[in-house]
């Protein structure tokens, strides 16, 4: 089976193109490359209804199954009638959402997914926890602070996300596992340091709470997003994939078809 992997589409952030343009181009790429199942590692949009509509539209037009996990942006609650916790509930009721709902691909493979959450451990050690918890640096505010209203602090959320992931993996632990998170779980995908801004903001990129999961279970592929890299590497039998489309300003060309084709990674199972 040919599985497509993509992340961080941010379909509502292009200056000129509409979400429908993103749907159209992604469906085109799926058909051209004969992808049979698509995995999206979060950050489709800044609004949960739009994120849901995009998944529905791509599924309906491509006639393939989509599995996803929400990213931090998909939880933004400022322009909606719902809290971030209610938005999580909404996603968990969607068939396409992997959280609490591992997917059996066949007799020997399963897909498990969770947003994960950042636990501040990727920041440079020069910053105290109190300094990072302010989520403000050089006049810039980490936008999740303003747009997300989780009822608990980030490090606790990261622990809960890792525990939920273990619970889900336990259901399929006799199989090879494709693990998908939004938050980065391998430090090689953090922004390289020293870096003027990301020595601080790497705090909100990754987590160390998943480390034990790689030791304990048969993870073969680990997919993540969030950091807007496009990169793949292998380490100790695990292929780590970061296949972000990212914002228009980060693209190398002005051609969405070319950018989607470049970001979209495929796995053959
Ligand atoms: Fe993100």
The proportion of the chain whose per-residue pLDDT surpasses 90, expressed as a percent, equals 99
Superfamily of domain 2-268 in CATH is Metallo-dependent phosphatases (3.60.21.10)
φ, ψ (nearest 5 deg) of residue 193: -115, 155
Q: Is the per-residue pLDDT at 7 higher than 90? A: yes
Q: How many residues does the chain have?
A: 269
Residue 76 pLDDT greater than 90, yes or no: yes
Q: Measured in angstroms, how far is the CA atom of residue 22 from the centroid of ligand 1?
A: 18
Residue 100 phi/psi, 5-degree rounding, is: 75, 10
Residue 236, both tokens: 């100790």
pLDDT digits (tens, 9 = 90+) for 187-236: 999 999 999 999 999 999 999 999 999 999 999 999 999 999 999 999 99
The full set of domain ranges for the chain reads: 2-268
Please say whether the dihedral angle defined by the alpha carbons of residues 264, 57, 249 and 149, taken in this order, is positive or negative.
negative
What token pair was written down for 49? 């209804």
Q: How far is the CA of 175 from the centre of ligand 1 (A)?
A: 29
**8 A C-beta contact, residue 157 and residue 120:** no
The confidence band for 126, taking pLDDT boundaries of 50, 70 and 90, is: very high
Burial of 236 (C-beta count, 10 Å sphere; 0-12/13-18/19+): exposed
pLDDT tens for 94-124 read: 999 999 999 999 999 999 999 999 999 999 9
C-alpha to C-alpha distance for 248 and 65, rounded to whole angstroms: 27
Instruction: Give me the pLDDT at residue 79, please.
Output: 87
Residue 66 has pLDDT above 90, yes or no: yes
Q: Round to whole Å and give the CA distance between 112 and 101.
A: 8
Find the helix packing angle between 256-263 and 19-32, rounded to 10°. Answer: 50
At 87, is the pLDDT very low, low, confident or very high (cuts 50, 70, 90)? very high
**DSSP 8-state assignment for residue 73:** G
- How many A from CA of 32 to the centre of ligand 1? 27
How far apart CA 183 and CA 158 sit, in angstroms, is: 10
Integer-rounded Cα Rg, in Å, for the chain is 17
Residue 11 CA, ligand 1 centroid: distance in Å: 13
90 C-alpha to ligand 1 centroid (Å): 19
Q: Are 8 and 42 in contact (CB under 8 A)?
A: yes
Q: Is the peptide bond before 194 cis (omega within 30 degrees of 0)?
A: yes
User: Can you tell me which residue has the tokens 């050690």?
Assistant: 125
Q: How far is the CA of 227 from the centre of ligand 1 (A)?
A: 7
pLDDT tens across 152-184, in order?
999 999 999 999 999 999 999 999 999 999 999
Q: Of all helices (H) and strands (E), which one includes residue 29?
A: helix 19-32
C-alpha of residue 83 to centroid of ligand 1, in Å = 18
Query: Residue 243 C-alpha to ligand 1 middle, in angstroms?
Result: 12
């Amino acid at each position: 089976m040919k599985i497509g992997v993509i992340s961080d589409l941010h379909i509502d952030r292009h200056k000129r193109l509409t979400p429908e343009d993103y749907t159209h181009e992604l469906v085109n790429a799926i058909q051209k490359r004969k992808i049979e199942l698509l995995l999206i590692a979060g950050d489709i949009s800044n609004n949960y209804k739009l994120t849901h509509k995009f998944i529905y539209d791509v599924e309906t037009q491509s006639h393939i199954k989509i599995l996803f996990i929400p990213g931090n942006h998909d939880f933004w609650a400022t322009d909606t009638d719902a809290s971030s916790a209610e938005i999580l509930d909404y996603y968990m009721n969607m068939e396409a959402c992997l959280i609490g709902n591992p997917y059996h691909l066949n007799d020997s493979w399963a897909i498990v997914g969770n947003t994960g959450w950042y636990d501040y451990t990727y920041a440079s050690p020069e910053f105290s926890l109190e300094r990072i918890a302010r989520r403000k640096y050089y006049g810039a505010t980490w936008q999740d602070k303003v747009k997300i209203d989780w009822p608990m602090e980030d490090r606790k959320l990261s622990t809960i996300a890792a525990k939920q992931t273990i619970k889900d993996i336990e259901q399929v632990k006799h199989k090879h596992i494709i693990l998908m998170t939004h938050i980065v779980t391998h430090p090689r995908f953090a922004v390289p340091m020293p870096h003027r801004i990301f020595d601080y903001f790497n705090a909100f990129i990754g987590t160390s709470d998943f480390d034990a999961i790689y030791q304990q279970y048969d993870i073969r592929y680990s997919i993540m997003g969030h950091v807007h890299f496009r990169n793949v590497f292998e380490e100790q039998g695990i292929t780590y994939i970061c296949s972000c489309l990212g914002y228009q300003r980060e693209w190398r060309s002005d051609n969405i078809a070319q950018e989607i084709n470049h970001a979209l990674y495929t796995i053959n199972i």
